[in-house]
Amino acid sequence: MELEKFIVEVHNEPFNILANNCIHKHTRIVRKARDLGHDASLMGCISVIPIKPAAGILLIGPHFYAEVDGKMVDVSMEPELEKTVGKNEDIFRILPVNVSKLKPMNPGEGPPLPSGYFPPWPWR
């Protein structure tokens, strides 16, 4: 109940490409869901958005959304923007990646890059 209320609040916040975009909104949702004991992940993908007012024009680019307890949560565009551009549910997502599970890696340690094929890192 508390998480659903928080998701609605975040959904109603105005979208801003620099200050309140899909990364900002969904990172906050994932953090809140984890604080409340839910299984949550930040997901990244390539999105294809059919822009409603410009029939036939597609907007293609990176996109982030949350996955909470196995269910997709995408609230990047607020309800007013959804009325003009298109609904969050209509976004076609390609190549989803669980960003939460990505970990930094030192390529000099080996996999996934073969250690013998690349020169050593300059800071060694």
Beta strands in 32-100 (DSSP E): 40-50, 58-68, 71-73, 92-98
- 23-29 own/partner pairs: CB under 8 Å, 24+ apart: 23/64, 25/75, 25/76, 26/64, 26/65, 26/66, 26/73, 26/74, 26/75, 26/76, 27/64, 29/66, 29/68, 29/73, 29/75
Evaluate whether residue 117 is within a structural domain: no
Domain count, the chain: 1
Q: Is the pLDDT of residue 20 over 80?
A: yes
Residue 19, amino acid = A
Pairwise CA distance, residues 55 & 68, whole Å: 32
Range of the domain at 53: 2-101
- pLDDT for the residue 51: 80
| pTM of this structure | 0.79
Evaluate whether residue 111 is within a structural domain: no
Evaluate whether residue 121 is within a structural domain: no
- pLDDT for the residue 119: 59
Mean pLDDT of the chain: 85
